Amino acid sequence: MNHPDAIRWNERYLLEGKQRLNRPPNHLVRQVGSWAPVPGLALDIACGLGNNGRFLAGLGWTIIGLDISLVALRLAHKEARRHSLAFYPAVFDLSKLWLPAAHFDLIVNIRFLDRGIFPLYNRALKAGGILIFETFLNQQQSQEKREHYLDPGELRQSFADYQILSWGTRQDGERFLEFLVARKPED
C-alpha cells in the first residue's frame, strides 16, 4: 500500500516493532472482564502490533485487528500464531471503513481518532456490546491538527446514548488522553 500513513507507520514499525511487540495492553483493555465478562467477537481498530488484541485473544476473545501497517500486522500475526491465539489481522485504510451491522461484542479504539467512524461503531456493536475508547485530548483548545485530538468531553457527548461505565481523562507523559468505556443500549 502506497498510502502516506502506511509508509510512515511501516517505517516506524520496521525500526521499533520488535522492541514494542510485548508491551502491556492498555489499562482499560486489561479491565475488560469488568466491562464484558463473557468473551465473544472483538474488533481492534488501528491495532498496530496487536498488543491489546492479543491480550484479549488470550482471554478467549476472537479478535479482528485492523491497521494500515502491514509491517505491524505481520509481527502481530506471527506472535499470535506462536501462542495459538484467535487474532486475525487485516491491512485496512480506516478512512474507508465499512462494518457489518450488530456484529461485534466489543470494539477497542486506542490512540486513534477518526470522527467519521463513530456512527460505524454504533452500527457494528451488538445491543449490549462494549466500546473501549481512549485517545489524545486537545488541552490547549488549539485548532491545529484538530482531526488528531478530542475536545474535552467529546467522547462522552458522542456516545451519550450509551451506558457510561467509565469516563475521564489521564496524563501520559506530556500528553493528555480522554477515555470512555460504554455499553450500547439494549434494543
Query: Residues 2-15: pLDDT tens digits?
Result: 888 899 998 999 89
Contacts with 94 (C-beta within 8 Å, 6 or more apart), sequence order:
45, 46, 66, 68, 112, 114, 117
CA dist list (Å): 22 to 19, 66, 99, 112: 7, 18, 28, 20
Mean pLDDT of 24-48: 94
Contacts with 89 (C-beta within 8 Å, 6 or more apart), sequence order:
47, 50, 64, 65, 66, 67, 73, 76, 77, 80
**By three-state DSSP, how is residue 110 classified?**
strand
CB atoms within 10 A of CB 163: 13
What is the C-alpha to C-alpha distance for residues 95 and 160, in angstroms, rounded to an integer? 24
Q: Residue 142 is part of which domain span?
A: 4-183
Contacts with 11 (C-beta within 8 Å, 6 or more apart), sequence order:
none
Q: Is the pLDDT of residue 143 over 70?
A: no
Look up the CATH number of the domain holding residue 28. 3.40.50.150
Tell me how many degrees the CA angle 165-159-91 measures, rounded to the nearest 5.
100
Mean pLDDT of 120-143: 89
- The model's confidence at residue 177, banded by pLDDT at 50, 70 and 90, is very high
User: Total domain count for the chain?
Assistant: 1
- Res 63: pLDDT: 98
Q: Is the pLDDT of residue 102 over 60?
A: yes
